[in-house]
Structure 1
Amino acid sequence: MERRDVRGHYEELAAEYDEHWVYGPDYVPWMSGQIAQALQLDSMDRIADVGSGTGLFAREVARQLRPRHPIVCVDPSEAMLRQLGTPPPAVLAPVVASAEDIAEGRTHLPYEQLDAMWLKESVHHVADPAHTLRGLAGRLAPGGRLLVVMLPTTIQYPLFEAALTRFEELQPDPAVIEGHVRAAGLEAGLSYVEHELRFDRDKYFGMVRARYMSLLSTFSDSEIEKGIEEMRVAHPEPVLVFADRFAFVLGRRRGELA
C-alpha cells in the first residue's frame, strides 16, 4: 500500500475536482439543501465550511441562503481554494488552514464566533477527531451548530473489493463521532440521508482512475488498473446505479441563538 499524502492528493486533483464531484445536475443542490436544513441556517448566520475544498457546497449554500456575511471556506490546500475564483465571490471568504488549525486557534477567522459550521467528508482526515471537534465546538457562539457529514462504515459503491475493504478499515464510525461531539459539550444527534446516483460506467471508471476519493490515493497505478478490470467484470451494465448514504452528526451549543 502506498503512503497516503492527503494534501498532495487534493493539490493534484484541484483543477478537476468539481468535475468529479458534480455527480449530476441535482446532487450539489440536494446535498447543500440538506446541510442548510440540518443546520437551520439563517441569512444572518456567521458560517464556516471546514474542509471546503473548492467551495462547491458553500457556493451553493450561499446561492440558496443569500447570507449577509461571507461563508468562510477553510481548507489546507491553496490549490483547492484557488478554484473559488480570483478574486473569490464576495459571498465566500477563503482561509488556508486545516481543521486542527481552526480548533487550536492557530489561524485567524473573519468572525470571533461562528453560528454554524460543517465538515463534509473531511473528519476522517483528522488525526485526533475528539480533540479537534472539541476545539471547533469552542468556536461556536451560544446556540451555534456543528454538522459532520460523513459516509457510514460501509458503502454500496461499485468499487473493487480491495477498495471497499480498505474503506471499512479506515472509515470512522459515525456513532463514535457523535460521542466526540457530545463530549465536546454539545447536544448531539445522528441521522442519515440518502441520494441515488447514476453514472455512465466509463465515466465512473475514469473517476476511479483519477482517484476522486482520497481512499483511492492509497493504491498504486497498477492496483487501480487491476481494480478497474475487476469492476468491468462485476458491472457490465452501461449505467451504474447505487445509493449514496450519508451520516449527519449534528451538535448544538446550549444557549440562545446569536
Structure 2
Amino acid sequence: MKSDILNHFDTIAEVFNRIWYFSEEYKNFVIRHIHHDLALTSDDTLVDIGGGTGTFTRRLKDESGAIKAYCVEPSRPMCDEAEKLENITALCMDAHTFMSTEIPFSKLLLKEVIHHIDNRERFWQRVYYQLPDRGKLLIITRPQHTAFPLFTSAKAAFARNQPPYELFESQLKACGFDVISAKRSHTFTLPKEHWHEMLRHRFMSDLGIFSDEEIEEGINEIDGIYSEETIDIIDNLIFITATKQNGKPV
C-alpha cells in the first residue's frame, strides 16, 4: 500500500468508525453477503486484509463462530483501534507481508482495499498456494463510475484510482481460481450535514488529494444539485468470490 494512502488513514483513524457509519441496515446488508459468499463456518480461520479498525472482522468472527480472525491493517493508528477489540487478532502489516508469514487461513476478505495492493498477480499466486482446497477469497469493490453524490473532480479521482473489476476476475482465473461475481446495490439516506462531515474528513482515500478549500467548493457544488436536508446514497458494490478447487494447478 502506498505511503500517501497510509498517511491518509493515519489521520482519520480516531474518527473512522464514526465518519464511515452509514446505517445499521447498510452494515447488515454487507455483512450478510460476506457470510453468504465466503460461506463462513465455525471451522474457518478468517483473514480480513485492510480490515481498518476491525469492526467488520469482529462481527464476522462473532457471528460465524470462526476458529480465529485476523484483522490485517498497515496503518498503525487504525490497527491500534482494532487491537482494542476482543476475539480478533490485529496485525499491523500490509498484504504481502502477511502472506510471507505463512499464517494458515481458509477464508480471506478484501473489502474495498484491492485497488491499494500492488503486484497483485504475485499476491494472488501466494493466496492460491496457501489456501486449502475449497478455500475462498472475497473481493468487495466498486465500479469505476461511482453513484455516490460526490463533486465532479472527486468522481474523476475515484475513477482514476479504481481498476475495472474485470481485471481482478481475469487475474484470479489465471491463477486457477473458480470465480463468481455479483453486482449488488444498496440505497440509504443520510442527513446532508453528516455527508458533509464525511467529505470534510475525507472518508475515502480518493479525497485525500483535495485541500480544505477544494472540499468546501465541492460541498457547495453538491448542495447546488441536492436541495433537501437529506441526501440519498446509492452504493453499487461488486462481490467477486474466488474458490480454490481441488486438483487444479496453480
TM over 0.5: yes
- Give a deviation string over 1:213-253, Cα, whole Å, max 9, x none: 01100212221121111111111111111321111111101
CA distance in 1, matches of 2:26, 2:206: 21
Deviations 1:18-69 (A, max 9, x none): 11222112222221121111011111101100110001211221232122x2
For the 8 Å contact 1:187–1:253, the answer to whether it is kept is: yes
Match of 2:95 in 1: 99
Cα distance in 1 for partners of 2:199, 2:238 equals 23
Instruction: Map 1:115-134 onto structure 2 (within 5 A).
Output: 115-134=106-125
Percent of aligned pairs sharing the same letter: 25
Residue 160 in structure 1 maps to residue 151 in structure 2: yes
1:87-236 matches, within 5 Å, as 88-89=85-86, 91-103=87-99, 105=100, 108=101, 111=103, 113-236=104-227
Unaligned runs of 5+ in 2: none
The residue matched to 2:135 in structure 1 has which SS? strand
Contact 2:44 2:68 in 1 (8 A): no
Structure 1 distance, partners of 2:3, 2:126, is 25
Backbone CA RMSD of aligned residues: 1.7
* Structure 2 counterpart of 1:29: 28
The AA in structure 1 aligned to 2:97 is D
Secondary structure in structure 1 of the residue aligned to 2:42 = coil
Following the alignment from structure 2 to structure 1, what is the Cα–Cα distance between the partners of residues 19 and 68? 26
Please list, as runs of the form range in 1=range in 2, the aligned pairs for 1:3-82 lying within 5 A after superposition. 5-67=4-66, 69-82=67-80
Determine the C-alpha separation between the residues in 1 that align with 2:227 and 2:201: 21
2:198 aligned partner, one-letter code: M
Instruction: Give aligned pairs, total.
Output: 246
Q: Comparing 56-65 with 15-24, which one deviates more in the overlay?
A: 56-65
| 8 Å CA contact retained: 1:81, 1:94 | yes
Give the letter for the 1:137 counterpart: Y
Amino acid of the residue matched to residue 27 of structure 2? V
Q: 1:84 aligns with which of 70, 82, 85?
A: 82
Contact 1:74 1:94 in 2 (8 A): yes
Give the letter for the 2:184 counterpart.
V
Offset at 1:162? 0.6
Stretch of structure 1 that moved more, 211-220 or 247-256: 247-256
When normalised by structure 2's length, the TM-score is: 0.93
For 1:184, give the aligned amino acid: C
Give the secondary structure class of the aligned counterpart of 1:243.
strand
Asked if structure 1 preserves the Cα contact closer than 8 Å seen for 2:10 and 2:78, the reply is yes
In the alignment, residue 14 of structure 1 is paired with which amino acid?
A
Residue 134 of structure 2 aligns to a residue in which SS? strand
DSSP-derived class of the 1:142 partner: coil
From the two aligned structures, give the one with the greater helix fraction: 2
Q: Would you say the 8 A contact 1:4–1:218 is kept in 2?
A: no
Letter in structure 1 aligned against 2:28: P
How far apart in 2 are the matches of 1:93 and 1:51?
13
Q: C-alpha separation between the residues in 1 aligned to 2:112 and 2:55? A: 13
C-alpha distance in structure 2 between counterparts of 1:133 and 1:147, whole Å: 12
Deviates more, 1:94-103 or 1:142-151: 94-103
